[in-house]
Structure 1
Amino acid sequence: MKLLLAIGSPLVVLGIIEVVLRIGGFGYSTDFFIRTRDGGAYTLNEQFRRQYYPGQRSVRGHPFKFGVEKGTNTVRIFVLGESAALGTPNPSFGFARMLGVMLRERYPERRFEVINAAMRGINSHIIRHIAHDCAKHQPDIAVVYAGNNEVVGFGAPDPGSPLVLQNLAVIQGRQVLRRTKLAQLVDAGAERLKRSMAAEQGMDYFRRQRLSFDDARRQCVYRNFRSNLEDICRSLTSAGCRVLLSTVPVNVVDFPPIGSLHRPFLSEAEKSEWERLYKEGARLEQAGQTSNAIVLYQRAAQIDDHFAELHFRIGRSLFALGQFEQGRLHYKLARDRDALQFRADSPINSGIRDVGKELGGHGVWLVDAEDRLGNSPLGVAGLPGNRLFLDHVHPRFDGDYTLACVFYEAITSILGDDLDGAAKARRPPLSRDECAAAIAFTGWDALEIDAAIAEMLSRPPFLDQLDHETRIKQLQSDLQAREAEYKARGLERELGIYRRAIERSPDDWELHYNFGVLLNTVGQHEAAIEHFRLVVKEFPDSAWCVFHLAETLVKARRFSEAEQQLRRILDVDPGFAPARDLLQPRAAGRRRVE
């Protein structure tokens, strides 16, 4: 009895606190979707990420809006995934946006809603939560494109963590607790304490996070991923939704492993000989003696074949000699044995294929995007590389366009006669140029995207990569040359492309947003303000949308109006650091709002 009281009394107290907090309206909704002010639509809950990552604003989605009531002529499509599905660094040029444009252009008699429910920095544990929320909103089709963040995201193992923490029930129990008001209260206090102590994760941190490909905790990750996928698919199909479950292509050919580890129990003598062979092989490879380099690399692999970077060098050398079959094997091993795994690897894609086959015929269709991109004209001997990807996982425009075509074909095939009618021929997707014109993708946008990626790659966790310094210098040199070209000729052509796109689609908020950014670039701040006002009218509760309007008002020296917008953000989200910084008198590189 005493034991029951000892355990039960604190639980009762905590339960009472939880009830009081809920009655008092404390905290935020943990649902992914929230109602708009007028109650007629749902939009992204920007506070959703706080239950998983209280202090990380880089974990974020992209604004959207869809009606509470779905019309009878409407096809509602949700896209689920991480940053690659979202479209990084600019979601308005991702495959979800292109897919929506293609469907609406080719089938104007139907109303298509393509809702990008992906987020940066999440993984299948959180996607499972989002999928359950999507199932409540009359989904017709869901595209699931996920698997890059399983080893590094929420619920992922640390090298020193016990195996029990990888139990799926333990992870899901944590998720349930994270949704309580009591957890929000604790997080709010912790956020305030940490706000002035935030530190960027350096390479030493990431070096400590390296995990061998054969670590038992990594095998738990793969099992959990498969279980989450099954749950995601079943929750959606039970709501009458058809699911496109996609494998996940990544940059294999042109992106070396981020981290490499030697095999356990490697003696000092073995390690010394391995390093001698590796260094001499690298010298020969650089000197163009590729065949001789491969011999030494393979001798090193006989001593220790765990080191991911070694496989990348072997794959690269074999490709240089035209030995593609063996080269593909080693390139894939380099990806799979990466000790800092920020990419979907072979076990992840095998799990996707297994779930797709298991649930095929039960409302789930497997889409092998990994195979389609690798074997596309932009692939390299059957593998994806830089012509399709910006970095390790984020597609460049051509990669996103190829993905959009793959999903367009699958969706129109599934919907079949519902779209075309029995006697009509299937309508092809938009061409690349038609798609670029519709969403106003310009050379300047490509430059801005490449600059954002170069900045990201110049920071941890990428600093230990093979040839990192050389690659960054090449990227920066290319960016400088392209910037100089634009400075010489101006941006009139790009401005014209946006104006024509907006004439065709005046209600497309993403066109107005990107045009506002471009107008700011050329110093036309007053014109940019009007476009950002249209965006804020569409999403009045989006902190980021309001912030971009406020930032432009500052550039136009309309300080009083800017302050009103910034305080409006902080009234709703006091922890929104960009708004706080813009109000500070010594904000780096910005004029005080006064």
Structure 2
Amino acid sequence: ARSSGAKTIFVQPAVNLKDLSPFKSEHKEGLGKAALAEWEDLYRRAKALQEQDRFNEALVLYRQAVGIDDRFAELHYRIGQVLFEIGQYDEAEQAFWRAVDEDVAPLRILSSMQRVVEEVASGEGAPLVDFPRLLKETSLRQYHHAVLGNEYFVDHVHTHIESYRLLGLALFDEMVKRRIATPGPSWGVEAMRSVDKEVMSGLSRHAEGVALKNLGKVFDWAGKFDEARHVFLQALEALGPDPEIYKRLTTSSMGRGEFEEAIFYLRQVIALVEPDEPDLHHRLARLLAQQGRNEEAIGEYREELRRYPNNPVVQTDLATLLAMKGEDEEARRHFEAALKLAPDFEYAHLNLALLLARERRYEEALAHNREVLRINPAQPQAHLYAGVILKNQGKLEEAIHHLSEAARLKPDDPAAKKNLQEALAARSQ
């Protein structure tokens, strides 16, 4: 800049503190297993309290977790959230900054780097436009706090256009002050309004919506589901009903554990794209079943099969729900249809074996269990089901073999342990 005769103005970068969680958190080195287990228990309990809006109780547990490991960025972010909720804004800002500084994938400027910007500008005798200060002053006037978040940012560092307008005016004022620019005699409030109008008229609402949709995809990909949801909803406002956005909202809702919300968004997808896309009713059925809404799920499975009957997974999922209802004959028909489509479909063999065993058709059940183990010898449930049937038939050696395998493959399965102990006890008599 100096060699070309240009004058330099530094801008202090601003970051989204309040509404953008760390990109990656890691525990401190040397944290032992016992300490990690204690930390995880405190964090889990505190998070549950936070989700119940019991912020003061959550804060106590979060701070206990900090005493064990103070390097986990997400922990500081959550402390910032609860402090903000109880109105301790200065302390919240400090916690949010600690979260930024501990982020091991630092895509925002660190507090130490902001100090470097100040030092370099001062050392060079160059002006520094303090963008964070401009936004904080505006936030205090508008929201009565100075913790920067989605009110001014679209992502981690990029602001809304109004915030860039503030920055542009501040830069222009600095240029006038340094006699780099000279405003004309007509410059004033009306001229600013005219410029605003000209700039805004050149912006495309549709292009903004597409950009927001793409940003939401990035957040979704990064597993930042809260942030993704916020951006996707803005994209919907710009673009109107959009099946791709509703699909993404379904995914982000599931990632946040908001399954009823996911069901709502998936229904919007179905309303917009019917009848062209397979698997939508299947996905909806699985979500409904996960929420215990089995009758609705069965209806969606039937609708998927009406449109796309040659899907063995849908046939099997429907059969499993029907078997749970006790509608064994229809369930068996769907299991058989699945196996006709995919003879080596492990899940269909396994669940049909369970149904047949319940009907006391043990030899047929064992035959399907053997098919499962032919396909996947390390399937613990197949070993368990076979072991239980053989134990009840008095075939203890075979039963012990299968139950031992079930317990080995899935050591935390109490049913495998219990049945193995019973088989061993019966053999010793």
Q: TM-score, normalised by structure 2?
A: 0.51
Contact 1:249 1:370 in 2 (8 A): yes
SS state of the match for residue 127, structure 2? strand
- Taking a change above 3 Å as real, the CA distance of residues 410 and 427 of structure 1, as seen in their structure-2 partners, is farther
1:513-565: per-residue Cα shift (whole Å, max 9, x none)?
xxxxxxxxxxxxxxxxxxxxxxxxxxxxxxxxxxxxxxxxxxxxxxxxxxxxx
SS state of the match for residue 39, structure 2? helix
Contact 2:208 2:238 in 1 (8 A): no
Q: Which of 429, 435, 458 is equivalent to 2:220?
A: 458
2:165 is the counterpart of 1:419: no
Aligned counterparts of 1:387 and 1:409: Cα–Cα separation in 2: 24
SS state of the match for residue 9, structure 2? strand
1:210-241: per-residue Cα shift (whole Å, max 9, x none)?
xxxxxxxxxxxxxxxxxxxxxxxxxx124322
Partner of 2:170: 406
SS state of the match for residue 65, structure 2? helix
Partner of 1:370: 132
Using the TM superposition, give the Cα deviation of residue 486 of structure 1 relative to its aligned residue in structure 2, in angstroms.
Answer: 10
- Taking a change above 3 Å as real, the CA distance of residues 407 and 397 of structure 1, as seen in their structure-2 partners, is same
- Taking a change above 3 Å as real, the CA distance of residues 455 and 436 of structure 1, as seen in their structure-2 partners, is farther
Aligned counterparts of 1:452 and 1:380: Cα–Cα separation in 2: 32
1:133-162: per-residue Cα shift (whole Å, max 9, x none)?
xxxxxxxxxxxxxxxxxxxxxxxxxxxxxx
Equivalent positions of 1:138-149 (< 5 A) are: none
Equivalent positions of 1:503-522 (< 5 A) are: none
Aligned counterparts of 1:415 and 1:308: Cα–Cα separation in 2: 44
Q: TM-score, normalised by structure 1?
A: 0.38
Using the TM superposition, give the Cα deviation of residue 407 of structure 1 relative to its aligned residue in structure 2, in angstroms.
Answer: 1.2
2:101 is the counterpart of 1:336: yes
Using the TM superposition, give the Cα deviation of residue 427 of structure 1 relative to its aligned residue in structure 2, in angstroms.
Answer: 4.4
Partner of 2:70: 305
| Matched residue type, 2:213 | A
- Taking a change above 3 Å as real, the CA distance of residues 239 and 379 of structure 1, as seen in their structure-2 partners, is farther
Using the TM superposition, give the Cα deviation of residue 357 of structure 1 relative to its aligned residue in structure 2, in angstroms.
Answer: 0.8
Partner of 1:394: 158
| Matched residue type, 1:376 | T
Partner of 2:79: 314
Aligned counterparts of 2:79 and 2:190: Cα–Cα separation in 1: 39
1:348-371: per-residue Cα shift (whole Å, max 9, x none)?
1110000011111xxx21221122
- Taking a change above 3 Å as real, the CA distance of residues 272 and 253 of structure 1, as seen in their structure-2 partners, is same
- Taking a change above 3 Å as real, the CA distance of residues 438 and 419 of structure 1, as seen in their structure-2 partners, is same
Contact 1:259 1:308 in 2 (8 A): yes
Aligned counterparts of 1:441 and 1:244: Cα–Cα separation in 2: 27
Equivalent positions of 1:153-192 (< 5 A) are: none
Aligned counterparts of 1:379 and 1:348: Cα–Cα separation in 2: 27
Using the TM superposition, give the Cα deviation of residue 431 of structure 1 relative to its aligned residue in structure 2, in angstroms.
Answer: 4.4
| Matched residue type, 2:82 | S
SS state of the match for residue 373, structure 1? helix
Using the TM superposition, give the Cα deviation of residue 485 of structure 1 relative to its aligned residue in structure 2, in angstroms.
Answer: 6.7
Contact 1:281 1:296 in 2 (8 A): yes
Equivalent positions of 1:82-481 (< 5 A) are: 236-360=1-125, 364-377=126-139, 381-415=145-179, 419-420=182-183, 427=188, 431=192, 434-439=195-200, 440-459=202-221, 462-463=222-223, 468-480=224-236
Aligned counterparts of 2:218 and 2:194: Cα–Cα separation in 1: 28
Using the TM superposition, give the Cα deviation of residue 436 of structure 1 relative to its aligned residue in structure 2, in angstroms.
Answer: 4.7
Using the TM superposition, give the Cα deviation of residue 475 of structure 1 relative to its aligned residue in structure 2, in angstroms.
Answer: 3.6
| Matched residue type, 1:296 | L
Aligned counterparts of 2:190 and 2:116: Cα–Cα separation in 1: 29
Aligned length: 240
Partner of 2:300: none
Equivalent positions of 1:8-23 (< 5 A) are: none
Aligned counterparts of 1:475 and 1:395: Cα–Cα separation in 2: 13
Contact 2:77 2:95 in 1 (8 A): yes
Contact 2:9 2:128 in 1 (8 A): yes
- Taking a change above 3 Å as real, the CA distance of residues 289 and 350 of structure 1, as seen in their structure-2 partners, is same
Contact 1:251 1:392 in 2 (8 A): yes
CA root-mean-square deviation: 2.7
Contact 2:71 2:102 in 1 (8 A): yes
Using the TM superposition, give the Cα deviation of residue 344 of structure 1 relative to its aligned residue in structure 2, in angstroms.
Answer: 0.7
Contact 2:39 2:68 in 1 (8 A): yes
Contact 1:408 1:429 in 2 (8 A): no
| Matched residue type, 1:409 | D
Using the TM superposition, give the Cα deviation of residue 286 of structure 1 relative to its aligned residue in structure 2, in angstroms.
Answer: 0.1
1:329-352: per-residue Cα shift (whole Å, max 9, x none)?
101101111110111110111100
Contact 1:374 1:380 in 2 (8 A): no
Equivalent positions of 1:59-98 (< 5 A) are: none
| Matched residue type, 1:413 | K
Contact 1:253 1:380 in 2 (8 A): no
Aligned counterparts of 1:336 and 1:257: Cα–Cα separation in 2: 9
Aligned counterparts of 2:85 and 2:56: Cα–Cα separation in 1: 10
Question: Gapped runs of 5+ residues in structure 2?
Answer: 244-429
The structure with the greater share of residues assigned to helix is: 2
Greater relative contact order (CA < 8 Å, ≥ 6 in sequence):
1
Using the TM superposition, give the Cα deviation of residue 243 of structure 1 relative to its aligned residue in structure 2, in angstroms.
Answer: 0.3
- Taking a change above 3 Å as real, the CA distance of residues 333 and 436 of structure 1, as seen in their structure-2 partners, is farther
Aligned counterparts of 1:296 and 1:394: Cα–Cα separation in 2: 33
Aligned counterparts of 2:194 and 2:206: Cα–Cα separation in 1: 16
Using the TM superposition, give the Cα deviation of residue 319 of structure 1 relative to its aligned residue in structure 2, in angstroms.
Answer: 0.6
| Matched residue type, 2:24 | G
- Taking a change above 3 Å as real, the CA distance of residues 243 and 477 of structure 1, as seen in their structure-2 partners, is closer
Aligned counterparts of 2:34 and 2:49: Cα–Cα separation in 1: 23
1:364-418: per-residue Cα shift (whole Å, max 9, x none)?
21221122223323677223211221111122212222221221211122116x6
Aligned counterparts of 2:194 and 2:154: Cα–Cα separation in 1: 19
| Matched residue type, 2:182 | L
- Taking a change above 3 Å as real, the CA distance of residues 436 and 346 of structure 1, as seen in their structure-2 partners, is farther
Using the TM superposition, give the Cα deviation of residue 419 of structure 1 relative to its aligned residue in structure 2, in angstroms.
Answer: 1.6
Aligned counterparts of 1:334 and 1:238: Cα–Cα separation in 2: 40
SS state of the match for residue 182, structure 2? helix
Partner of 1:483: 239
| Matched residue type, 2:235 | L
| Matched residue type, 2:60 | V
Contact 1:401 1:432 in 2 (8 A): no
| Matched residue type, 2:145 | A
Contact 1:375 1:383 in 2 (8 A): no
Using the TM superposition, give the Cα deviation of residue 477 of structure 1 relative to its aligned residue in structure 2, in angstroms.
Answer: 4.6
Question: Gapped runs of 5+ residues in structure 1?
Answer: 1-235, 488-594
| Matched residue type, 1:397 | I
Using the TM superposition, give the Cα deviation of residue 441 of structure 1 relative to its aligned residue in structure 2, in angstroms.
Answer: 2.1
